[in-house]
Amino acid sequence: MNNNSSKQSLRIGIVGGGISGVALALDLCRNSDVEVQLFEAAPAFGEVGAGVAFGANSVRALNGLGIGDAYRKVEDRTPAPWEDVWFEWRHGTGESKYLATTVMPGMGQSTVHRADFLDVLTTHLPAGIAQFNKRAVGVEQNGNEARVTFADGTDYRCDLLIAADGIKSALRAHVLEGINAEPAEPRFTGTCAYRGMIDSDTLRAAYRAKGINTHLVDVPQMYLVKDGHILTFPVKQGRIINVVAFLSDRSSATPQWPADAPWVRKTTQAQMLEDFAEWGEAARTLLECIPEPTYWALHDLAELPGYVHNRVVLIGDAAHAMLPHQGAGAGQGLEDAYFLARLLGDSRLTADNLPAVLTTYDELRRPRACKVQRTSWQAGELYEMRDPEIGADEQALAAKLESRFNWLWNHDPETDVVEARARLGWGNAVRRILIVCAQTGVRPGDTPAQITITRRAMPCELST
């Protein structure tokens, strides 16, 4: 790190080897002024779960982090001629009556198998960056240095510690205590999900046998009923259909999950089919093709009042774990990683302005991530006919589903970086905005939101 006329490396420790932690490490280790160490609790890299979806905003972050090509090697897209379709929406009962289509122009449903994507990313990590069997158990700070301790008795000292260790983060409590905030533990949402993977040819044959249109295999679907919904989309280059079947218990305003019960466990097909006994034939046929489902208790976090305490920073699920109903959780972690990579790798970073850089991260990233958390919960309410204004009104529901995601997807993470540089006095803000506009096709004045972003990032005398 630059420090007046001398130059020394910024030591950065990243705790957590999921997608956001690895993506950030990959970008930072390309910078000769940064020393990066990545600590993973497991014996090797690995992701829990199956398919994960990315919106246009997330893909912009992937491209900016230099891993867009790696993503495209393993991604799936909605096939032609439905390439712009994110989801088709249908009733989950009866004949699966069509409700609406949500489109993401130029993207459609962009998905990847989590483990496949992480495998591709980690092959690009230089030797010596990652250390395994390093479960963080605590952190302390002394002046401008952070020290993280691990379960094996070792420790690591650095100028900046980034906690990317997920919803059960061991480091989050340190940050919240440091900013005099209440502790934040994962909370059970009252929603559970059955998950499974189906060979697409198997599902297609099962649908043909029952006279069900195989279009429902080829195009991402969302089946809706009161207090439940099922989604399907392809992974593994279309060979596999990822299925998630959600049910919500709304009998308590503060649902509790037993402390000694696992969040993920195996279950039986019989139990799953019993829970979906009243659903339509398309949904039930889908579930009949999953012989060994898993059962997931969905947890999230409350919106946090801060992501930074001195030299310790929360990113990804450690900061803003959310329900999966907008396919946005992993993408928000990537936006975090992109923002930090661009600023921590900037030649204008110094020991003196590092605190200001971290403040801009908290000020600019946290409001957006909190909004995505909040609207992800609201999306689940909408899908399950519990939206307080729309309920089961088909016409209003269809209109809402067709447009409610645009604000999320249309965001360009570079606009946050531009604004951060302007706040830091790092110059060239106007030129950078023009570059962003040229790259994205966005022009100031297109929408009120875009006008607001542009004006905030410009000097006052040029923003009117």
Q: d(Cα 327, Cα 322) in Å, to the nearest integer?
A: 10
Q: Return the amino acid letter for 329.
A: G
Identify the pLDDT of residue 457.
34
All CATH 3.30.9.60 domain ranges in the chain, comma separated: 85-109+186-300
Joined together, the tokens standing for residue 158 give: 């650095």
Identify the pLDDT of residue 400.
96
Report the sign of the C-alpha dihedral through residues 384, 386, 392, 393, in that order.
negative
Mean per-residue pLDDT, 205-213: 97
CB atoms within 10 A of CB 457: 22
Q: Strand 130-131 to strand 34-39: parallel, antiparallel, or no bridges (unpaired)?
A: parallel
Percent of the chain with pLDDT over 70: 89
| pLDDT, mean over the chain | 90
pLDDT exceeds 70 at position 356: yes
Choose between 439 and 299: higher pLDDT.
299
Q: d(Cα 109, Cα 181) in Å, to the nearest integer?
A: 38
pLDDT exceeds 70 at position 242: yes
- pTM as predicted: 0.90
pLDDT exceeds 70 at position 442: no
| pLDDT band (50, 70, 90) for residue 462 | very low
pLDDT exceeds 80 at position 159: yes
Identify the pLDDT of residue 434.
45
Joined together, the tokens standing for residue 197 give: 């993977």
Active site residues: 195
Identify the pLDDT of residue 238.
83
pLDDT exceeds 50 at position 453: no
Q: Strand 34-39 to strand 10-15: parallel, antiparallel, or no bridges (unpaired)?
A: parallel
pLDDT exceeds 50 at position 295: yes
Does the 85-109+186-300 domain belong in CATH 2.60.120.1310? no
Q: d(Cα 225, Cα 183) in Å, to the nearest integer?
A: 35
Q: d(Cα 113, Cα 386) in Å, to the nearest integer?
A: 30
CATH superfamily assigned to domain 2-75+113-184+302-406: FAD/NAD(P)-binding domain (3.50.50.60)
pLDDT exceeds 80 at position 1: no
CA atoms within 13 A on the CB side of 244: 22
Residue 70: left if φ>0, alpha if ψ -120 to 50, beta else—which one?
Answer: alpha
Identify the pLDDT of residue 436.
52
Identify the pLDDT of residue 74.
87
| Predicted confidence (pLDDT) per residue in 379-407, tens digit | 999 999 999 999 999 999 999 999 999 99
All CATH 3.50.50.60 domain ranges in the chain, comma separated: 2-75+113-184+302-406
Identify the pLDDT of residue 286.
97
**Residue showing tokens 């579930």:** 287
| Predicted confidence (pLDDT) per residue in 51-109, tens digit | 788 999 999 999 999 999 999 988 888 888 999 999 999 999 999 999 999 999 999 99
pLDDT exceeds 60 at position 435: no
CA atoms within 13 A on the CB side of 259: 1
